[in-house]
Amino acid sequence: MADLASPAETGVAVHTLPAPYLLFLGDTTEAGFAKTAFGLRDWAGERCIGEHALPAATVSVGLPAMGPREAAAKGARAMVIGVANPGGVIPPSWMPALIEALEAGLDLVAGMHTRLADIPALAEVAARGTARLIDLRVPPARLPVASGRKRTGRRLLTVGTDCALGKKYTALAIARGLAESGTSATFRASGQTGIMLAGEGIAIDAVIADFASGAAELLSPDTNSAHIDVIEGQGSLFHPSYAAVSLALLHGSQPDMFVVCHQPGRTRILGHPQFPVPPIEAVIEQTVMLGRLTNPEIRCVGISLNTSGMEAGAAEREIAETEARLGMPTADPIRGGDAFRRLLASCHS
């Protein structure tokens, strides 16, 4: 993982999470809403011991299925809610499993908008034993209003044509790739899964609107001129529910560079099928237009395609065709290869 600045430097909330984890999938039937579980499996697999899903669930991350007591017997120390559902709610159907985890001695970790500590039944069970309730979507106290002041160092933001299509994976891969090539780089987490991976960050979508851009400023403080902060994007400027979060992060992070993330074949906005997914060109134009408010030099340096559902040959053709059409480096960071090396080189320029 790329270098991380200290909490004292960034002013962000720090969370030390007990591992290994049991990943809780609830009753999820849409893989996009289980992005937290998939992210932990892919980027912190050594900390994940198994998965636990309710009978109604149709999503799996491919880990051994086990209940909380079995997981605790095998060494798990926490059950992490691996779901990011609309509104970040904890439905009643989950409660028996959450209570079972606490009674088995597992800490309960969540990045939901509904806070574990605010649910009386969970607070009561936790108070009777040693297991803790750990809420990650709790922003730091006394966040400032954004100043708009230009900060030193360089910044790269991942933006998307929709939500849940690879902005976090892209930021992680770019930060790691830059670091491996000898460039000083930091992954800056702006969502609950990123915080679980990095150990610090600010869940931007949990911040009161007036302070969201200020929180994004804190997320990427002044650094030396050679350093690159790679900032995890959120939502989409074209999403009817989450565009406000995307805009606050764009204005506060003041990116010099951005990478557009897109999933080929996705035609409708996740959770809002009445809205079409915009073309990549529209996202580039909109991001530049709005981003110039706080950084007049903002520019797109490449495209990240999530080709996870495609065969290798089809993915290569999609990447090549998109690069030819747009005239800029295009890659699937997870597939890597020469295409991703060209994308990384563009981030250096």
SS (H, E, C) 47-74: HEEEEEECCCCCCCCCCCECCHHHHHHC
Do 3 and 212 contact (CB within 8 A), yes or no? no
Q: Which fold has domain 154-348?
A: Rossmann fold (3.40.50)
Contact call for residues 340 and 333 (beta carbons, < 8 A): yes
User: How far apart are alpha carbons 194 and 232 in whole angstroms?
Assistant: 8
Identical topology for domains 13-135 and 154-348: yes
In whole angstroms, give the CA distance from residue 52 to residue 80.
10
Element (H, E) at 231: strand 228-231
Torsion angle in degrees (nearest 10) through CA of 102, 76, 38, 28: -30
Phi/psi of residue 304, nearest 5 degrees: -110, 120
The per-residue pLDDT for range 326-341, each reduced to its tens digit, is 999 999 999 999 999 9
DSSP 292-326: TTT-TT-EEEEEEE--TTS-HHHHHHHHHHHHHHH
Domains of the chain by residue range:
13-135, 154-348
Contact indicator for 307, 318 with CB cutoff of 8 Å: yes
Per-residue pLDDT of the chain (349 residues; tens, 9 = 90+): 444 344 444 455 556 688 999 999 999 999 988 989 999 999 999 999 999 999 999 999 999 999 999 999 999 999 999 998 887 889 999 999 999 999 999 999 998 889 999 999 999 999 999 999 999 888 888 899 999 999 999 999 999 999 989 999 999 999 999 999 999 999 999 998 898 888 788 999 999 999 999 999 999 999 999 999 999 999 999 999 999 999 999 999 999 999 999 999 999 999 899 999 999 999 999 999 999 999 999 999 999 999 998 999 999 999 999 999 999 999 999 999 999 999 999 998 7
What is the distance between the alpha carbons of residues 236 and 159, in angstroms, rounded to a whole number?
A: 7
At 120, give phi and psi (nearest 5°): -55, -40
pLDDT tens digits, 169-190: 999 999 999 999 999 999 999 9
For 13-135, CATH number? 3.40.50.720
